[in-house]
A and B are shown apart, each in its own frame.
Chain A
Amino acid sequence: MSAPRLTKGAVPATRGVVGTSMRRVDAAEKVTGAARFTGDLVVPGMLHGRVLRSPHPHARIARLDIAAAERMPGVQAVLTGGDLLGATFAGTDPYYGHAIKDRPIVAIDRVRFAGEPVAAVAADDLAAADEALLAIQVDYIDLPAVTTVQAALAAGAPRLHEGPLRPGLFHGLGELRLEEGNICYHYHFARGDLNRAFAGADEVVEGEYTFPAVYQYAMEPHTVIAQWGADGLTVWACCQHPYLVRAELADVFGLPLSAVRIIVPYIGGGFGSKSYTKMEPITAALARKAGRPVRIVNRVDEAMVTTRRHNMTCTMRTGAMRDGLVVARQCRIWLDTGAYADNGPRVAATAGDAAPGPYRWQAVDVDAWAVYTNTPPAGSYRAFGAAHLSWIGESQIDALARKVALDPLEFRQRNLLRPGEEVRPGGKPLDADLIGDVTKVAAAIGWGGPKPPLVGRGVSVGLLTAGAHPVSTAAIRLQADGTAVLLVSTSELGQGARTVFTQIVAEELALPPDRIRVMGADTLFTPYDRSTGASRSTTLAGKAVQHAAVNLCEQLLEIAASAWGLPRASLAVRDGAVWHETERLSYPDLIKKHFGMVGGELIGRGEVRPQHGTGSYAEGPVFWEVCVGGAEVELDPQTGQIRVRRLASVADVGKAINPQLVEAQEEGACLQGLGNALFEEMLFEDGHLVNGSLLEYRVPTTADLPDEFRSILVENADGPGPYGAKGVGEGALAAVPAAIVNALADLGIDMRQLPLTPERVWRRARELGLAPRRDRS
């Protein structure tokens, strides 16, 4: 049975749990320190692992001698690339990678980035493991390194990957073409006649832009425990996508899916840094060699060379008419994906798709390349694609508005797509009221009102392809006493998935929330959910949960109808029972009737799959997540420092299952956006990360909070999720840098590089001849 159809614009009435700011079901555990993360778990016989990492960005391994390390007290095993080709790992494919299988579990013969694992040690304690690392002897022969996109694309540049690239299991991008040289992936689309459109344009703006490598900094670093047993491989890990990791590990180690079990405790932040496969293969391989369970915990500097956001250069030009209508945009994007693809192809595709922005174009032409370099691999980070491009496209929109003497808000109102319009050919039409959204956000920052000197305002609008792949299942086990256990494989990263699902089950099954138990993902028990990311969990896994609850209701209604000899339509579910007028049969009553004893259970199941086509990236997205933000900033021209006075973002969520948690996600996304905009930047010198510590990599603190922040909730019941919901939590991260860049442009300072460090802003202000404010006396 399908969920009730909703009329557009009507926010559905519910029984009163969905739509309330119910307390998080995991909060009590977390505030008392009882919540267990992977690093808090100990498995009997567990060894502690440490990884030896290459100091060179590109080198051959001439000699690797682990004999001394192996003999050290407390050392139980040392793993090297050579092992992967030997007898212990017969049947193992040493390469993994969900998009492109280009990543060896441990370096084999060659290292491609400074920080690449070369060996791993399992010992009785960390001190012994650390000592053993020092005893491993490695001779490297330096190879010429290409540590920038420019160097990697130059003629004669050394190739990072020889031979044909092998597609991974889950790239989801249709056919993966092999590219030339160090190009990992190329994405291109075009429509309309670009040259004609630009030729006819009254105004054209163009520029070159630079975007930094940024570190997700989930506060819990990557942590994995792996254990081999008679029934296969068990892994406890901070995985955002346990089922994808399971598939990869099964593929790598030549195991059936059912022989690989992934258990996911609470995760201390994900933000994409724990998406797909990261430290699981090396931990599993080390455990296999050791013949005992092994736990590996990354240090923060190791986590930073495990994954990061793609740095990027971009050229863009946009044309518009004097009357304020845009006509054409051309964009070329080069993303530095580091030494291995990780999610590079997907990031390139979403960056390309984000480049046009949600506007009505006559012609668009976009190329995006993901390029291999000898730097640590880049992967997913919240709002990828839109975070990369929104600030660029939106700054050109503002520049054009100024050229045709139109207010930037009005310019957008004229050009933004409306709900139902095509965003890209063959894909999902726009499902959000962007004009309404941006108008609200502008009002929230006082748009149009008087501005003190050195204060600027900016707004931004963008779209994110959200939902990833729409495949999710869920099951609910209704116990003999009427309590329910929800089985769903969404990872609890902090976003509140377990709470939202509890609310949905409570709503559909008319059960008090405290009678519902939801556990974390365990692939042995919780059924398939494709992934936790791309803002998909409430919308898709939540939908599967809703279906499972509805399916359970059906079963309960059937049993009651049969017991009473009444038609189904005359019965209703309410307060943990099925009712006919004033007569009731509670769930325990119904279960007892069904099984003839006190015992047994009813199992409801729910499933979400593509409604048409294959649910591929090109056919989607599942929904468009809005990236709408506004910023009011004050500039200190003496130092170039920007103070954010007001910040606003729009959470266009269709239906807020838990409004407080929506707001909480928005607040976090905005502050990450602020960090990305103002100071977050990974600094590399010749492929070496030079600020690999929180002392030198700055993340936002309470001191960086804007004076005022507003999260505007928009509920138009226009999402494909339960009750018309659609996801949230990423858009603000893309919108905030764009809004801040535009707020600075409002002051006449156009910036072409992020982050907007005080030095960079100061230099640009000086170049533009902006006089410093008089000294305060």
Chain B
Amino acid sequence: MDGRAPSMRIALTVNGRPVEAAIEPRELLLDFIRDRLGLTGAKRSCDVQVCGVCTVLLDGQAVSACCTLAYEARGREVTTIEGLAAGGHLHPLQEAFIAHAAVQCGFCTPGMILTAATLLQDVPAPTPEQVKAYLKGTLCRCTGYWKIIEAVVAAGRRTQEARE
């Protein structure tokens, strides 16, 4: 067995749905998601874990899918941008990004929103400073970040108000 053929079976959950697949050990999670599952929201750009466009959530934690083996998703929950909207309703972050023009070319948007979603899980109503610090490792070349920060703060406030 030289590892060239799909030699491993994995079972995982993707956006709430069970998935089973035969993979090569060397298969990357990003390619698995994009090419095998057709979920192309996660993108490839820098390929060195710096830019964040490949971000997906593994058991709720943001990871760089470009440098993560698909193997690591076995038995775990993968969330991609396609899984964020629940029952036809956009996530508050998605709505806020639209309302605040925090989207331009859109290439960084899925990763940016997923990362912000993990922040809101941790810190429900973050301040602009907290958002700035949290998003430091997620790049955008179009927006200059201001409207992204506004959008995340607004989404946080809205989510907190909804809870109260």
Binding site for B on A (CB under 8 A): 21, 23-24, 26-37, 39-40, 217-221, 266-269, 271, 297, 299-300, 493-496, 660-661, 663-672, 693-695, 699-703, 705, 709
By a CB distance below 8 angstroms, the chain B residues around A36 are 40
Bound form: Cα–Cα A298–B82 in Å: 25
By a CB distance below 8 angstroms, the chain A residues around B48 are 693-695
A-B contact pairs, 28 of them (CB 8 A): A26-B103, A26-B106, A27-B97, A28-B90, A28-B98, A30-B109, A31-B93, A32-B85, A33-B110, A37-B107, A39-B44, A217-B141, A266-B105, A268-B106, A269-B107, A269-B141, A271-B141, A494-B107, A495-B104, A671-B145, A693-B46, A693-B48, A699-B141, A701-B145, A702-B131, A702-B145, A702-B149, A705-B145
By a CB distance below 8 angstroms, the chain A residues around B59 are none
By a CB distance below 8 angstroms, the chain A residues around B42 are 33
Contact with B98, one of A31, A37, A700, A701 (Cβ below 8 angstroms): A31
By a CB distance below 8 angstroms, the chain B residues around A672 are 141, 144
Query: Which of A26, A31, A664, A705 has most B Cβ within 10 Å?
Result: A31
Question: Which residues from 86 to 114 on chain B have a C-beta closer than 8 Å to any C-beta of chain A?
Answer: 90, 93-94, 97-99, 101, 103-110, 113
> A27-B98, A32-B81, A32-B94 given as contacts; is B146 within 8 A of A705 (CB)?
yes
The residue on B at minimum CB distance from A31 is B94
The residue on A at minimum CB distance from B84 is A32
| A219 and B141 form a contact (CB under 8 A) | yes
| A33 and B82 form a contact (CB under 8 A) | yes
By a CB distance below 8 angstroms, the chain B residues around A28 are 90, 94, 98
By a CB distance below 8 angstroms, the chain B residues around A668 are 104, 141-144
| A694 and B107 form a contact (CB under 8 A) | no
Bound form: Cα–Cα A695–B50 in Å: 7
The residue on B at minimum CB distance from A671 is B144
Question: Which residues from 16 to 55 on chain B have a C-beta closer than 8 Å to any C-beta of chain A?
Answer: 34, 39-48, 50-51, 53
> A221-B45, A668-B141, A702-B135 given as contacts; is B110 within 8 A of A27 (CB)?
no
Bound form: Cα–Cα A700–B130 in Å: 18
The residue on B at minimum CB distance from A48 is B35
The residue on B at minimum CB distance from A675 is B141
| B101 and A33 form a contact (CB under 8 A) | no
> A31-B109, A31-B113, A667-B144 given as contacts; is B98 within 8 A of A699 (CB)?
no
> A31-B97, A37-B43, A702-B149 given as contacts; is B135 within 8 A of A24 (CB)?
no
Contact with A35, one of B80, B97, B106, B113 (Cβ below 8 angstroms): B106
Given contacts A30-B103, A33-B110, A668-B141, 18 further A-B contacts (CB under 8 A): A23-B98, A26-B103, A27-B98, A28-B94, A32-B84, A217-B141, A220-B43, A220-B105, A220-B107, A266-B106, A297-B44, A494-B104, A664-B104, A667-B143, A672-B141, A694-B50, A701-B136, A701-B139
Q: Which 5 A-B pairs have the closest CB atoms?
A: A33-B41, A494-B105, A30-B106, A268-B107, A667-B144
Instruction: Tell me the smallest distance from the CB of B153 to a CB of chain A, in Å.
Output: 13
Question: Which residues from 41 to 85 on chain B have a C-beta closer than 8 Å to any C-beta of chain A?
Answer: 41-48, 50-51, 53, 80-82, 84-85
B132 within 8 A of A: yes
The residue on B at minimum CB distance from A216 is B141
Instruction: Tell me the smallest distance from the CB of A719 to a CB of chain B, in Å.
Output: 22
The interface on chain B, measured as residues whose beta carbon lies within 8 A of the other chain's beta carbons, has a size of 51
Bound form: Cα–Cα A297–B110 in Å: 20
By a CB distance below 8 angstroms, the chain B residues around A37 are 43, 107
Bound form: Cα–Cα A310–B146 in Å: 29
> A31-B113, A33-B39, A667-B144 given as contacts; is B105 within 8 A of A269 (CB)?
yes
The residue on A at minimum CB distance from B99 is A23
By a CB distance below 8 angstroms, the chain B residues around A31 are 81, 90, 93-94, 97-98, 103, 106, 109-110, 113
By a CB distance below 8 angstroms, the chain A residues around B80 are 33
B6 within 8 A of A: no
By a CB distance below 8 angstroms, the chain A residues around B45 are 219-221, 268, 300
Instruction: Tell me the smallest distance from the CB of B81 to a CB of chain A, in Å.
Output: 4
Bound form: Cα–Cα A709–B106 in Å: 23
Query: Which of A24, A266, A271, A496 has most B Cβ within 10 Å?
Result: A24
The residue on A at minimum CB distance from B4 is A127
Instruction: Tell me the smallest distance from the CB of B21 to a CB of chain A, in Å.
Output: 16
| B146 and A667 form a contact (CB under 8 A) | yes
Bound form: Cα–Cα A267–B104 in Å: 10
> A217-B141, A664-B147, A672-B141 given as contacts; is B51 within 8 A of A694 (CB)?
yes
By a CB distance below 8 angstroms, the chain A residues around B40 are 33, 36, 39-40
Instruction: Tell me the smallest distance from the CB of A650 to a CB of chain B, in Å.
Output: 16
The residue on B at minimum CB distance from A647 is B144
Contact with A268, one of B105, B133, B135 (Cβ below 8 angstroms): B105
The residue on A at minimum CB distance from B114 is A33
| A267 and B105 form a contact (CB under 8 A) | yes
> A269-B142, A494-B105, A703-B132 given as contacts; is B98 within 8 A of A300 (CB)?
no
Bound form: Cα–Cα A664–B101 in Å: 7
Contact with A219, one of B81, B139, B149 (Cβ below 8 angstroms): B139
Instruction: Tell me the smallest distance from the CB of A312 to a CB of chain B, in Å.
Output: 22
Contact with B106, one of A271, A300, A494 (Cβ below 8 angstroms): A494
By a CB distance below 8 angstroms, the chain A residues around B135 are 702
> A33-B41, A219-B141, A664-B143 given as contacts; is B132 within 8 A of A702 (CB)?
yes
| B139 and A24 form a contact (CB under 8 A) | no
Query: Which of A32, A219, A269, A300 has most B Cβ within 10 Å?
Result: A219
Instruction: Tell me the smallest distance from the CB of A239 to a CB of chain B, in Å.
Output: 14
Bound form: Cα–Cα A702–B113 in Å: 15
The residue on B at minimum CB distance from A709 is B146
The residue on B at minimum CB distance from A303 is B45
Instruction: Tell me the smallest distance from the CB of A572 to a CB of chain B, in Å.
Output: 33
Bound form: Cα–Cα A139–B97 in Å: 53
| A667 and B147 form a contact (CB under 8 A) | yes
| A219 and B101 form a contact (CB under 8 A) | no
| A300 and B43 form a contact (CB under 8 A) | no
Bound form: Cα–Cα A663–B50 in Å: 27
By a CB distance below 8 angstroms, the chain B residues around A695 are 48, 50
| B107 and A299 form a contact (CB under 8 A) | no
Bound form: Cα–Cα A35–B107 in Å: 9
| A705 and B132 form a contact (CB under 8 A) | yes
By a CB distance below 8 angstroms, the chain A residues around B139 are 219, 694, 699, 701
By a CB distance below 8 angstroms, the chain A residues around B93 are 31
Question: Which residues from 107 to 164 on chain B have a C-beta closer than 8 Å to any C-beta of chain A?
Answer: 107-110, 113, 131-133, 135-137, 139-147, 149
Instruction: Tell me the smallest distance from the CB of A23 to a CB of chain B, in Å.
Output: 6
Bound form: Cα–Cα A266–B107 in Å: 9
By a CB distance below 8 angstroms, the chain B residues around A266 are 105-106
Instruction: Tell me the smallest distance from the CB of A573 to a CB of chain B, in Å.
Output: 29
By a CB distance below 8 angstroms, the chain B residues around A268 are 43, 45, 105-107
Instruction: Tell me the smallest distance from the CB of A72 to a CB of chain B, in Å.
Output: 13
| A702 and B136 form a contact (CB under 8 A) | yes
Bound form: Cα–Cα A475–B99 in Å: 29
By a CB distance below 8 angstroms, the chain A residues around B145 are 667, 671, 701-702, 705
Bound form: Cα–Cα A671–B113 in Å: 20
The residue on A at minimum CB distance from B24 is A127
